Amino acid sequence: MRPDLLPAEPGTSSPDSHRARVVLRGPRIGEVMWQTLRLQRRALLLWAVGLTGMVALYGSLWPSLRDQASVTELMDQLPEVVRSLLAVSDMSTPVGYVQAELLGLTGPLLVILFAVLSGSNGVAGEEDRRSLDLLLADPVSRTRVVLERMAAMVVGIAVLVAAIGLALVAAGVLAGLDLPVARVGAAMLHLGLLGSVFGALAAAVGAATGRPAVARAVPAVVAVLAYLVDGLAPLVGWLEPLRGLSPFAQYSDHVPLVNGVSVSGVSIAVGTVAALAAAAALTFRRRDVAG
Amino acid sequence: MTGAGTAAVVECAGLTKRFGRTVALCDVDLVVGPGEVVGYLGPNGAGKTTTLRILMGFVRPTAGSARVLGRDAWREAARVHRDVGHLSGEPALHDRLTGREHVRATARLRGQDDLRRAMQIAGRLDLDLDRPARALSKGNRQKLAVVLAFMSDPLLLVLDEPTSGFDPLVQQEFQAMLAEHTAAGGSALLSSHVLGEVQRTADRIAVLRAGRLVAVEEMDVLRARSLHRVRASFADPVAASDFAGVLGLRDLVVTAETLTCSAPAAALDALVGRLAGHRLLDLECTEADLEETFLAFYGSEQPDAA
């Protein structure tokens, strides 16, 4: 960080008998967030590399799949339930291919996985490992700890979707997987928000309970249910009214790769994250921290 | 410097904590004054850590109040922490970060620019700050946690079993640091389950049993009461009457050629005088563990011996 802050040799200053009391200001805004990201940087880098590799793999398959009508036919033959769940589209266009292969299931699954791990780690994971004491013993309010850790999670997610987005654009150049760059940006924004919603849920459950296993299980179950509601609503009448509640509906019902940003989708997701962040802060402030 | 015009650095009144149906702390009154070191003693599970965590604002009291430097430990925790250094009972560190990175991160969280003090303490404890925490031994991890607690020269140190895992030389250095801390006006509350660990540094001892404060004593008083287990074997037969009348002896058992008893420090001189009248084959004198001293003087049926 800043080696200039440190003297070259430990103990070079003489121990003075009446040393001046250090006046502590507490951390700067964002300090907890940066330190959290620093602790995560290795994991974040591995995730970014892995996701980039995955996109590269999809990109490299594109030239050989593009011209095979059989793939589209194969998809057409899938049961309607599966087609509805995967939001199968025309696989012979770059947009349809990326939508089906990357944005339909794999991308959301991996981004949500990262988000939930990161969100549950923020408070509950560190509390479980007891390293949270190090932070809480400093002049930082619990509200700041929660909010800055959640901010770190959102930044991490942003890094990952940026990596995916850049890899997609690169695949367009290298493998002819031509996608409109602005639409890729919109899709990545929605993907990042989708992850943030479930990550924020993990963070909130973790902040309220201090138990990392619960903080992971709850959003995992909710995500599966939300995915099924969104995917099956077109086929199951009574699910239709629930569909709008699913974060997956805000994520993909308007197909951002085709239609760009959905203002309502973004607003609902941002609102959900904000509400979960408030709940996380309020519950964490009120409870005992395990020691 | 302190808040609402109170001299006490730590002030617990009627402090009670229940976890569900378990009563962890019951009606604890405890005061630590400026420049004072209070040793907080009790067997494991007595509620020492709970008390310290309440003072740090990690745990909310069920009833009663805990104030640090005049501020409520729970509601104003972040503000309180500007003046408090804390050492966890089982300090957890970030495995990948080196000692130096821990020091820097902590300094930034506290808004402390000057790291010379931290480097100086690490030097005194002979701690290598360039190794990652996962490569440190238990004792070295403890040293790093001590550096983090002391590095801001706080007004109050809240230390949970600070010297566990230290070898005697490091314990000595630690005690010297604590003495300097109080000489500069700082206070400390340190918990331990071993009297020997705190007896050189503490001015007063507070004894906790099953969540209740059973005694608060000046160190000198308790030291005189601390029991020693004495075991002697003799070359020639001895009689029980040879050892009668030594004040304070407990559990005296004399057989033909051996003697065992528990003796407070104050009785040792008289006892050794009597022993010297016989030809000794062997003599053992060990300080009994604190639990035994507690049981002897603050027996479980005496919730309010203080």
* Residue of chain B whose Cα is closest to the Cα of A36: B105
- Tell me the angle at which helices B99-110 and A31-66 cross, rounded to the nearest 10 degrees: 110
Q: Is residue A18 part of a domain?
A: no
Q: Confirm whether A183 is domain-assigned.
A: yes
The reply to whether residue B119 touches residue A26, judged by beta carbons under 8 angstroms, is no
Asked if the Cβ–Cβ distance from B110 to A139 is below 8 Å, we say yes
pLDDT in tens, B110-137: 999 889 999 999 999 999 999 999 999 9
Residue A11 within any structural domain of the chain: no
User: For domain B227-287, which CATH number applies: 2.30.30, 1.10.287, 3.30.70, 3.40.50?
Assistant: 3.30.70
Nearest-by-CA chain A residue for B109: A27
B92 and A138 in contact by Cβ < 8 A? no
Domain that holds residue A80: 30-286
Any A CB within 8 A of B114 CB: yes
User: Domain boundaries in chain B?
Assistant: 10-223, 227-287
If one looks up domain B10-223 in CATH, what number appears? Answer: 3.40.50.300
Across A75-84, A278-287, B225-234, B261-270, least confident range: A75-84
Question: Is residue A67, in this structure, part of any structural domain at all?
Answer: yes
* Domain presence at residue A5: no
Nearest Cα residue in chain A from B51: A291
Contacts of B49 in chain A (CB under 8 A): 291
Q: What is the pLDDT of residue B245?
A: 83
Tell me the shortest Cα–Cα distance from A21 to chain B, in angstroms.
7
- pLDDT tens-digit series, residues B154-171: 999 999 999 888 888 999
Residue A224 counted as domain residue: yes
Q: Span B259-263, mean pLDDT?
A: 90
Q: What's the number of domains chain A is made of?
A: 1
> Per the domain annotation, does A17 fall within a domain?
no
Instruction: Report the pLDDT value the prediction gives residue B15, as an integer from 0 to 100.
Output: 97
B291 confidence band (pLDDT: 50, 70, 90): low
Tell whether the model's pLDDT for residue B288 goes beyond 90.
Answer: no
Q: Compute and round to an integer the Cα radius of gyration of chain B.
A: 22
ipTM of this complex: 0.84
By Cβ distance, the residue of A11, A19, A289 closest to B58 is: A289
